[in-house]
Structure 1
Amino acid sequence: MAQTIRPAGSRHPAGRPATGSLFATDGKPHRVQDVLMVVTGVLGVLAFVTAMFHHLHLISSWAGLIGILTGLYGQYISKTTWERFGLIMGIGASAVGFYLGMAHGGLFGGVIT
């Protein structure tokens, strides 16, 4: 909230210049968080797309479940707003794919009788 209110020319209390952007980064690399964000996004897209096909419910439900779990862990260790934004988008797509996959047959539908 403070990033959107603070004028772009003001200084950060630690002496760093304020960026005035919602997606401000701290200027440090966060490789683990970035990898988790990408993995969550890929799993989310996979789960969302395969959920549109009834016979692919195993892929959509498992990809959605793993995407939700990796996204939640990524949220736990995330450092910047950009990482949190990407993770939330991936978690949302994973959740939609997971729920539709569960509705179409679930995690073990047809495999275990």
Structure 2
Amino acid sequence: MAQSTQPHGRSDDQSTWATIVRNDGKPHPLQDTLAGITLVLGLIAIGTCGFRSLHILASWTGLFGIFSAIWGQYISATTTERFLLVIGGGAAAVGFGIGLAHGGLLGGVVGY
């Protein structure tokens, strides 16, 4: 029975991020970048949603994080990318929701 094997060690030309995300052995620069952006937006949204004065930042980064997670899920190629997109998108959604509860996307800026 023929089985294909992949090396378990990390080669010198691959970074740690590439080793974690690229579990099929093929490069996916757009998908990897989108997963990273979604994680960063999710972390910003969840980190700033606890402060009432930062509700605009939390709301907008959460909204952009949700959209990037949706787009990333649509074009993702590996399970690891999907996992990172779900974590980042979930954090962005929580930050977006709490940011909306604290004043919303434009609360206080346009006079209401």
Q: In which range does the TM-score fall when normalised by the shorter chain?
A: 0.7 to 0.9
Alpha-carbon distance in structure 2 between the residues aligned to 1:33 and 1:79: 7
- Specify the alignment match of 1:17 in structure 2: 5
- Specify the alignment match of 2:72 in structure 1: 74
Identity %: 52
Over residues 73-94 of structure 1, what are the superposed CA-to-partner deviations in whole Å (9 max), with x where a residue is unaligned? 0000000000000000000100
Over residues 12-46 of structure 1, what are the superposed CA-to-partner deviations in whole Å (9 max), with x where a residue is unaligned? xxxx3389xxx882200000000000000000000
Alpha-carbon distance in structure 2 between the residues aligned to 1:64 and 1:109: 15
Q: Which runs of 5+ in 1 are unaligned?
A: 1-9
Q: Is the 8 A contact 1:24 1:81 kept in 2?
A: no
- Specify the alignment match of 1:97 in structure 2: 95
- Specify the alignment match of 1:7 in structure 2: none
Q: Which runs of 5+ in 2 are unaligned?
A: 8-20
Q: Is the 8 A contact 2:39 2:88 kept in 1?
A: yes
Q: Is the 8 A contact 1:58 1:101 kept in 2?
A: yes
Alpha-carbon distance in structure 1 between the residues aligned to 2:22 and 2:59: 34
Aligned residues: 97
Aligned pairs for 1:1-113 (under 5 A) are 11=3, 16-17=4-5, 25-113=23-111
**C-alpha RMSD over aligned residues:** 1.8
